[in-house]
Amino acid sequence: MMAKARPDLAGAVISDFIEAGAHLFDAPVDPRAATDLLAAIRQTRRFDDSLFLGEAEFDADPQYTGVNPRPGRNLLERFEERLGFVEQAPHIVEAITALLGADYEILNKKVVCGVPASAIPDWLKTRIHGNPVNNLGAYVRPEHRDITYFYGIDFHQDLIDYKEREADFLTLYVYLHPVTRADAPLYLLEGSHRLGGSVFPHDLTRSGDDAWTYRNDPHGETETRQRILTGDTGFAAMWHACTLHGTQPDAADHERISLRYLVARGKDRAVGMEAVNATLNGPLSLIDTRKDLAADGSAAIRANTVLKA
């Protein structure tokens, strides 16, 4: 049996989820394997303006939905046998098991790219300026939609994609190269999960250098601390489905490439997550999760809080 990464990692993970709604791993996943995977991902395309449709091409038939990776069009399907450095890493397995039980299931996994400003055509920059969710899938050539591309995304909960589902899952995020302040690091609002599910966009007011007051009417308000997730190759973090997080547009001149997993409990009772969820003062699921979109899936609200972070 392999040694535990840290004494009582399981206990630390559960108490971190109760307190902060997130756990940042002390130990990375294997940096060499991460670097090798990154090189293989970079071989598959140029991360520049060749990713995108032309303006006239886009306008001829705008498609705002169904533009994310899906079974049969997901780059990670090609690299399945290389993912053991994450999926079988003893500390990752131990931490997820503590929260979700031994029969946990990967709901979804994909490569996420923070696209640098230099790669985005001018016509597209003008269109997306100030939008809260700049998932660029709509503008990406269909053959490249096996990755999710972001140019920043406002503070949101990952519950946003799961109407009427209980917050019984977590997100695991892994950096495949060093991520500095300039590489669109994740911004996480510690403790924001405590107010449970909340409709996007969220009611956040800056209350200090790293602090935000967050309201989830009628469930109350809480003070949260902003944590910027910079990290080295193989840095890993995971958070609750109700934890607010977001990214600013990528200010570096190169892309940020990460792995994003959603992991849910199986059929067993998930003792750790139940203990976490018992501490929340708000709904565990939502009928509607967002009110920022028009009927065709395009942005109907132009406002963005994470840009003020």
Ligand X SMILES: O=C(O)CCC(=O)C(=O)O
Q: Is 112 in the site for ligand X (CB under 6 A)?
A: yes
Strand 105-114 and strand 148-156: the pairing is parallel
Instruction: Single out the residue of 247, 277, 289, 304 in contact with ligand X (rule: CB under 6 A).
Output: 247
Separation CA 7–CA 189 (nearest Å): 27
Instruction: Single out the residue of 184, 237, 259, 262 in contact with ligand X (rule: CB under 6 A).
Output: 184
Kindly state the smallest distance separating residue 137's Cβ from ligand X, in Å. Answer: 12
Instruction: Single out the residue of 154, 158, 255, 292 in contact with ligand X (rule: CB under 6 A).
Output: 158
Q: Is 153 in the site for ligand X (CB under 6 A)?
A: yes
Q: Is 114 in the site for ligand X (CB under 6 A)?
A: yes
> First CA to last CA across the chain, in angstroms?
44
Cβ neighbour number for residue 230 with a 10 Å cutoff: 15
Kindly state the smallest distance separating residue 144's Cβ from ligand X, in Å. Answer: 16
Separation CA 62–CA 139 (nearest Å): 8
Kindly state the smallest distance separating residue 158's Cβ from ligand X, in Å. Answer: 5
Kindly state the smallest distance separating residue 287's Cβ from ligand X, in Å. Answer: 21
In Å, how far are 189, 214, 224 from 206, measured between CA atoms?
Answer: 12, 9, 10
Stretch that binds ligand X, among 17-25, 137-145, 150-158, 206-214 (CB under 6 A): 150-158
Kindly state the smallest distance separating residue 159's Cβ from ligand X, in Å. Answer: 10
- In the bound state with ligand X, the residue whose beta carbon lies nearer, of 116 and 191, is 116
- The answer to whether 248 touches 187, Cβ cutoff 8 Å, is yes
Name the E strands within the chain: 22-24, 105-114, 133-135, 148-156, 169-175, 186-190, 203-208, 211-215, 221-229, 236-240, 245-247, 256-264
Q: Is 260 in the site for ligand X (CB under 6 A)?
A: yes
Binding interface with ligand X (CB under 6 A): 112, 114, 150, 153, 158, 184, 245, 247, 258, 260
